[in-house]
Structure 1
Amino acid sequence: MTTFIAIVLMFGVLISVHEWGHLVMAKRAGILCHEFAIGFGPKILSFRKNETLYTIRLLPIGGYVKMAGEDFEPIEVKAGQHVGLRLTSAGTVDRVYFQPDQAKDVHVVGTVDKFDSIRELKIQLLVDDEVRVYALERDTLLVDQGMEIQIAPYDRTFGAQSVWKRVLAIAAGPAMNFVLAFILLVIVGLVQGTPTDDGQIGTVQPDSAADQAGLMAGDEIVSIEGQSIDNWLDLRTVLADRADTPTEVTYIRDDAEQTVTLTPQAIEQNGETVGILGVTNALERSPTKAFTTGAETTWTMSTLIFSAVGDLVTGQVGVDQLAGPVGIVRMTDEVAASGFIMLLNWTALLSVNLAIFNLLPLPALDGGRLIFLLFEAVRGRPIDPKKEGFVHFIGFALLMLLMLIVTWNDIQSFFK
């Protein structure tokens, strides 16, 4: 049960932070955001704050921010529809009811002749064979079967904003995932500590080469085979070529320098045989070091994931080696069992992964939308929304197909 809660919270945080980035930048750009959703499918919980409906939906496989004008509106007023209007004291409309007989505050009932909620902000009704025209408030709500959606005048739509503002609104989602990863890694550094810059030993694995030679936590390795050791990278570099080879190690204990000969154990690492002592470096709790290490680790994670994407594109890595939702949940289960710190590191890695995946120049992803905005900036005019929408639809279908493939691979791997 604890692992299940950890998984739900982890995915909830990853998705919420991503979509929150979109929401904040879209609102700052003046775009009306109809809904902020975590998950897809039927609503479980919902509440409205200011202009936006916040929802938690049944399937926790993603989320979205529905910006006015970015996609088709969920409620449309068409000619011939029978509606009811609620009027303000000034005679303007602030509610349009699609089931007027179910509303208690309807002032006018009629048949829609014309409706313009974008430019003119007017509704024209036929009431008892009489044509009446009413002005719409800029925040008029359309109410249909309990669903409420606010109209969006043109200046509040996604397409009305400058290319730069739209780029920021789209890019803010992945950017917040990078920020989240950095914050989580800083927390890890503050709680657990960050590696020291020297060759000081933090822990010694039982029965390792270091343990058998009598090395202890707190010892500082200063040279190996006469080569000076200034940091942990130096230590690993020198040991890499010393697998199963007697090696002279000089260290400092209690301010006294000592030397011992040991044989580094051979292990396979990235397809190569390297030598190890069986020790980890010491940790220190330093806010400054936690911030710098958090930034460096976020960068390292990003470069490794970009490299992996490149291997996938060039065919060096097959689709069968990708992990889908089932595989990620299984790995998260294993990581959660290893402790809170490991879960934070894993969440940071997934957050960077989510950011980079969304930045890929594929239709339906943030990266694909950014490509269309780049074309618009170069051409000086937007691409036909219907054509762009069709491309994104095809891209989404292909992504769902890929998701099914990797999920099937996950299931097969699970039973194997």
Structure 2
Amino acid sequence: MEIVNTILTILSGLLMLTLLVLVHEGGHFFVGKTCGIRIDEFAVGFGPKLLSREKGGIRYSVRALPLGGFVQFYGEEEEVDAAYEPRAFNNRPIWQRALTIAAGPVMNILFALLLTVAVLVGYGDYVPQIASVEPGMPAYAAGLQEGDRIVMLNGKRIDFSMEFDAAQISSSEHITIGVEREDGYHEFELDTIQNEETGGYRIGITYTEYARRRFGFFEAIGLSFKWLWLIIKEMFTALGAAIFGGKGISELSGPVGTITIVGEAVRYGFETILRMAALLSINLGIMNILPFPALDGGRLLFLGIEKLRGKPIDRKVESYINLVGLALLFLLMIALTYQDIARLFS
């Protein structure tokens, strides 16, 4: 039975990653085709071809390693005479090439927003709920009640559980807290009491329970952008800690770790699957837009340099730089995979 669960975990993870790759590469494909760029191949995966079919002059293929994909544009890596083939990638205007390259990450971001709207409308999200109020404490005197849903703290609206920071209470001598009840919204101002044991401050509540809060469609659209911004901030905080905080890659996950996490998410139901897909999609979109060689952001950087110079960088030089970037990314994937496997066995 354990073997079956492991196989299902792997297949679930691969299926979700494949879907996100299709969204990403589909963005490149459709925008490139709309801009009149000639496409030679649309591939899901890398390595040897497992399935291949040609239609409309484009080869569609599924390859052996389902951890990525690509759209092969004619004339992307080499110079082609514009008179001979005006549809070659490097013969198209810079703005068309830039749109085509940016379309992959943008599609991942839009897909993440769509999934987030679906989650917020269909399931909602959690906000901290007061589980108990201690008699004689500031919260009790102010009128806070068991079951109150905390939706504002010190002027900051709380729409998602990730926004609630209990440290704001324990580090403040005076707080403003807003709650929702059956009869509407209530706001309280409290003076906290110092905890002699910890040196921090308290108001006499516990908030171990979380209340589910649902959203309307149009409200969910606006909040999906807020959720996106929160995730991006967390991503760059983790990235900064890895690079500048001395944590290295210990906080990161590679393909094996990602597949394992996705497989675990499947066991918790469809809501968790949607949340995980949105999270991975936004990660894929943002990481790809970083100005690093071999990534979409690196290619956009080269186009920006071409626009400023009035002519492109030598294609061989660009290819070498991208090759170095690809090699570094490959080494990072090896290190992360080793770390993922070590975690599994530990």
Smaller-chain TM-score bracket: 0.7 to 0.9
1:183 maps to which of 106, 109, 114 = 114
**Residues 119 and 361 of structure 1, relative CA distance in 2, 3 Å threshold:** closer
State whether residues 13 and 258 of structure 2, in contact with CA within 8 Å, keep that contact through their aligned partners in structure 1: no
Structure 1 unaligned blocks of 5 or more: 74-116, 121-152, 244-248, 258-265, 267-271
Q: What's the counterpart of residue 192 of structure 1?
A: 123
Once the 2 structures are TM-superposed, how far is the Cα of residue 159 of structure 1 from its aligned partner? 0.8
Q: What's the counterpart of residue 305 of structure 2?
A: 375
Give runs of aligned pairs for residues 188-227 of structure 1, distance below 5 A. 188-194=119-125, 201=129, 209=132, 219=148
RMSD: 4.0
Give runs of aligned pairs for residues 149-168 of structure 1, distance below 5 A. 153-168=84-99
Larger Rg: 1
Q: Which structure is richer in relative contact order (CA contacts within 8 A, separation 6 or more)?
A: 2
Once the 2 structures are TM-superposed, how far is the Cα of residue 281 of structure 1 from its aligned partner? 3.3
Q: Deviations over 1:318-376 (max 9, x none)?
A: 12332111111122222222221112111111111111211122111111111111111
State whether residues 194 and 290 of structure 1, in contact with CA within 8 Å, keep that contact through their aligned partners in structure 2: no
Once the 2 structures are TM-superposed, how far is the Cα of residue 5 of structure 1 from its aligned partner? 4.0
Report the number of matched residues: 316
Structure 2 length-normalised TM: 0.77
State whether residues 32 and 51 of structure 1, in contact with CA within 8 Å, keep that contact through their aligned partners in structure 2: no
State whether residues 361 and 367 of structure 1, in contact with CA within 8 Å, keep that contact through their aligned partners in structure 2: yes
Give the SS at the match of 1:321.
coil
State whether residues 222 and 228 of structure 1, in contact with CA within 8 Å, keep that contact through their aligned partners in structure 2: no
Give the SS at the match of 1:320.
coil
Q: Determine if the alignment matches structure 1 residue 61 to structure 2 residue 67.
A: yes
Structure 1 length-normalised TM: 0.65
State whether residues 49 and 64 of structure 2, in contact with CA within 8 Å, keep that contact through their aligned partners in structure 1: yes
**Residues 279 and 43 of structure 1, relative CA distance in 2, 3 Å threshold:** same
**Residues 211 and 67 of structure 1, relative CA distance in 2, 3 Å threshold:** farther
Give runs of aligned pairs for residues 275-354 of structure 1, distance below 5 A. 276-354=206-284
2:57 maps to which of 51, 59, 81 = 51
Q: Determine if the alignment matches structure 1 residue 31 to structure 2 residue 19.
A: no
Q: What's the counterpart of residue 172 of structure 1?
A: 103
CA distance in 1, matches of 2:168, 2:223: 24
Once the 2 structures are TM-superposed, how far is the Cα of residue 316 of structure 1 from its aligned partner? 3.9
CA distance in 2, matches of 1:23, 1:310: 32
> Greater share of helix residues, 1 or 2?
2
The answer to which of 386-395 and 332-341 deviates more is: 332-341
Q: Determine if the alignment matches structure 1 residue 398 to structure 2 residue 328.
A: yes
Q: Determine if the alignment matches structure 1 residue 407 to structure 2 residue 334.
A: no
Q: What's the counterpart of residue 241 of structure 1?
A: 169
CA distance in 2, matches of 1:222, 1:169: 41
CA distance in 1, matches of 2:313, 2:10: 44
Once the 2 structures are TM-superposed, how far is the Cα of residue 386 of structure 1 from its aligned partner? 1.3
Q: Deviations over 1:263-317 (max 9, x none)?
A: xxx9xxxxx9997411223412411122112121112212221232233332443
CA distance in 2, matches of 1:332, 1:394: 30
Q: Letter of the 1:390 partner, please give it.
A: Y
Give the SS at the match of 2:86.
helix
Q: What's the counterpart of residue 16 of structure 1?
A: 22
Q: What's the counterpart of residue 40 of structure 1?
A: 46
CA distance in 1, matches of 2:265, 2:151: 34
Once the 2 structures are TM-superposed, how far is the Cα of residue 252 of structure 1 from its aligned partner? 8.4
Q: Letter of the 1:241 partner, please give it.
A: I
State whether residues 194 and 286 of structure 1, in contact with CA within 8 Å, keep that contact through their aligned partners in structure 2: no
Give the SS at the match of 2:334.
helix
Give the SS at the match of 1:241.
helix
Structure 2 unaligned blocks of 5 or more: 1-6, 172-176, 187-194
State whether residues 222 and 250 of structure 1, in contact with CA within 8 Å, keep that contact through their aligned partners in structure 2: yes
Q: Which runs of 4+ in 1 moved over 4 A?
A: 117-120, 208-213, 219-224, 227-233, 235-240, 249-257, 272-276
Q: What's the counterpart of residue 189 of structure 2?
A: none
Once the 2 structures are TM-superposed, how far is the Cα of residue 396 of structure 1 from its aligned partner? 0.9
**Residues 352 and 273 of structure 1, relative CA distance in 2, 3 Å threshold:** farther
Q: Determine if the alignment matches structure 1 residue 388 to structure 2 residue 318.
A: yes
Once the 2 structures are TM-superposed, how far is the Cα of residue 194 of structure 1 from its aligned partner? 4.8
